[in-house]
Structure 1
């Protein structure tokens, strides 16, 4: 079916907000700017940060109207005066919009901004420069603009809009008032779509609004464009059946079905689903990110018990229900974290490969991973009910000889002897004296070495997980450094992890798990190590990539 692109564009342009009160989902930004304009405390430079379609340039235009309006009220533009009308129509002389992506060079900046800014505003009190995709400017262009930002001409306001603030120099960031735009919550976006349909006198099935809002993922422009496509079908009533031809299956529904197959470890069905999705024309890179986002939400909920706020905003109640359903198949944070690493690693290694091939590799790896996890620890639903293995009653070295373990039961050392010696508690065979054992091992429990502790560290983490779902994540960033007597010294590179582990309750859980795995009562000593620590788990590199991908950072103490 051919869709008229002009009609699609017309809808979101027609309902583009012209006042602060018409902005949706950005309440804090709206209230702050209203207050600044009303109190005449306007900054000379603003930086609007956020994903596409969340209202950055629309807000910049509203700000331009508010500061130039002939009859403003409480910081709000009237929308009726000649200046407001000219700004809305895109013909206001003192509103200069520049696409930084196509004018990145220093010469463009000098000609279009620096030289022009010297002249006083002609049509109103303020001249406003809006630079969209500001992160695309070259370093030399930013350097040329820096002087103007340091000493701005009177009556000039700069508004920089960007999706990638990390690419903007710190010298620029420090001179701008920054606002972060976020994806709009599902219910708020749905309400917006309902109001547009009502204004257009078109009846739409309730589930169509839900589906459009879900597919848009919190991005207003995407939602309004999709609704415009549906309106282009003609008629005054859009049914769910009519909409399916354009919407097909939602990303949430597709991800849910696909993820469930992967969690069951069914590679064959997963590949069959991929073929069907590609025949439907699914956006493969977007679908891969949606899969990553769903696993991220599962991981977050498995650790905290709460729903990821960003996922709630994008997918609403349907997204929460989907994550809850997926967690019935797998709720182990360690398993889910490794799954995130698999996707991120493959995306990083296969940048030049076809996106459908990358997704096939990811699907195969994830299905194998979940299948192996289920096989090694049993179904996640049953894993919580399994009784942890008891502490071995023989030293680790003695376990190598199965017959010796059977024929020689190992009585515990008497309490008085243990107190008198003030040494680690050891359980030894009847024909072997505790004295000689302690002497031969130089006050170290039998068979417990640093290498052995590192080898069994993942097992320790798994045991800890049964009692505390959040603690294993912290232990991934702790490295066994030394074993002395019955004490294992752990090093933490980051202050946050150090502080969590020195907590009395957390330390007790770790010591109990360590004692069970090593077969001997063991205590831990936590140290903050400022020098880089080489962690035993190679997937930590994947974690770093995950942090970068989602725009986060690890803060050292």
Structure 2
């Protein structure tokens, strides 16, 4: 028994679905007798390129077609032979397996010089033409440019960009597009009626979604569903053939992570994993729902015609809770996590990571942002800490809503760690530190001589809270002083001198004037050396 896409291959132009924009032009050319000598059909796989090429070959060679008509009769000897794939004057060449220049010369160029045996035109259908080698294209150019009057070339390709411009310019181009939802649904319904099998609309929708605009793939999937040998096929029946996820589970998963409920999302993933669901398919279907959310966000109308009305309402609600940047971020992360499923040691781990990372982000973003002022990360001169966040353009105190009461345990924890997380003011003054800075540097030189020269270049600028700000002119020295072990040494000596914890903060100020260099002898002594005469 032939597969459905071969059994129901269009035999007339009227049977071609979803390509009306170019079928009309081809039909007019045939009816008017203005046939081009070279055609180039490009587009995705399974959308009708080779089928249209055969229909064109059949129409121009039909023995009973009258002037002004374009449809082949499918009854004469020529039509029957072309339908059976055994017409001597219609030559189909698979360029993927015959890429060499010798094959092109023998099968195409030399063969084209002979007149048709029985037909009016000798038609060469070269499929996957982009697979030909450069030498083959060069050999074919002259024949394409000046072909014999009895020859028609039809080139078909899925990758137009791989063809030389010299070949493209010699052909009449037709760009095939993916088949739309409505056209594909009509085609599948017609096949089901011909086969006398009832199929639920949701099953059709699932097939269309998985075929990605490729009618041949859709017909192949429908053939697999028909193999169940049932007179009526429901979603539950098709579940055995079409790997799929429950849309309600996906919507529940998205609701959980967009509401910041990571625990609920993780529980759902674990449940689905225990049920043996295909997690890669679940991730794919999740991306499809997010795509529907994005379209809904952009057009304000629900997208995804294969979803139930209830599902569409929930999808629209999810889209309404997400801003466009957050929705784009979620789609990006979902795409990346799906790629990790096949290589992860635990297949569910990427989805769990997606749930947790976005749940945390959603929880942080849940407070309304419309009445929140922008945040400035610059220190305020009046604030004792340079790292405190200050709202800019903040509203007057009377307009600020009272803070919500926090849990008593939260307050207890905050108070307990306040001395660690907040900078505490100290008794030591900036003047005292400046007065003893040279003594501190001298003491440090005995323990860490390599820091001496850099510390002498530092200028004590400010004391904010318990943080001592010093400037240094060179980035290399700043990086050295910022190293944790060196900072510990310096802060240790500061605590020894002033009996308080003082943090060192180095700032790069290139224009700062370094102190006058000392003579070479003093410098050499500090580094444990001597000046050689």
Q: Distance in 1 between matches of 2:46 and 2:141?
A: 28
Q: Distance in 2 between matches of 1:198 and 1:367?
A: 44
What's the counterpart of residue 216 of structure 1?
211
CA distance in 1, matches of 2:256, 2:103: 53
Structure with the bigger RCO (C-alpha within 8 Å, sep 6+) is 1
TM-score, length-scaled by structure 2: 0.61
RMSD: 4.0
Pick aligned residue for 2:197 from 178, 186, 202: 202
Call closer, same or farther: CA 1:316–1:404 in 2, change over 3 Å.
closer
Matches within 5 A, 1:370-389: 370-378=358-366, 382-383=368-369, 386-389=370-373
CA contact 2:207–2:221 (8 Å) conserved in 1: yes
Q: Does 1:97 align with 2:89?
A: no
Query: Paired residue for 1:272, among 270, 282, 285?
Result: 270
The aligned runs of 1:437-476 (5 Å cut-off) are: none
* Structure with greater Cα Rg: 2
- The yes-or-no answer on 1:184 pairing with 2:172 is no
2:69 to 56, 65, 74: 74
Q: How far is 1:21 from its partner?
A: 0.1
For residues 195 and 135 of structure 1, the distance between their equivalents in structure 2, rounded to whole angstroms, comes to: 34
Deviation at 1:321, TM superposition (A): 6.2
1:54 and 1:145 mapped to 2: Cα distance? 26
Distance 1:354 1:404, change over 3 A: closer
Hey, what's the Cα distance between the residues in 2 that align with 1:61 and 1:316?
Answer: 40
Deviation for aligned residue 1:138: 2.6
Contact 2:38 2:154 in 1 (8 A): yes
- After superposition, where does 1:159-170 map in structure 2 within 5 Å? 159-170=154-165
Contact 2:39 2:154 in 1 (8 A): yes
**CA drift at 1:280:** 4.6
Q: Which runs of 5 or more structure 2 residues have no equivalent in the other structure?
A: 387-391, 393-533
Structure-2 separation of matches of 1:293 and 1:235:
29
Match of 1:402 in 2: 383
Indicate which of 121, 130, 135 corresponds to 2:130.
135
- Hey, what does 1:19 align to over in structure 2? 12
1:32 to 25, 29, 35: 25
Whether contact under 8 Å (1:215, 1:250) holds in the other structure is no
Note the 1:277-296 alignment, pairs <5 A.
Answer: 279-280=276-277, 284=280, 295-296=290-291
Gap runs ≥5 in structure 1: 1-6, 411-557
Query: Aligned with 2:72: secondary structure?
Result: coil
**Stretch of structure 1 that moved more, 53-62 or 116-125:** 116-125
1:310-333 Cα shifts (integer Å, max 9, x gaps): x77x98989976753541342x22
Is residue 145 of structure 1 aligned with residue 140 of structure 2? yes
Q: Answer whether contact 2:95 2:132 (CA < 8 A) is retained.
A: yes
Asked whether 1:233 is paired with 2:228, we answer: yes
2:328 to 327, 337, 345: 337
Distance change in 2, residues 1:212/1:362 (3 Å): same
**Equivalent residue, structure 2, for 1:245:** 240
Tell me: CA distance 1:403–1:306, structure 2 relative to 1, closer, same or farther (3 Å): same
Q: Please list the CA deviations of residues 6-36 of structure 1 after superposition, one character each: whole Å capped at 9, or x if unmatched.
A: x5x5222111101110011111122121112
Say if 1:377 and 1:228 are closer, same or farther in 2 by CA, change over 3 A: same
Measure the CA separation in 2 of the matches of 1:130 and 1:276: 51
Q: Could you say if the C-alpha distance between residues 119 and 274 of structure 1 is closer, same or farther in structure 2, counting changes exceeding 3 Å? A: farther
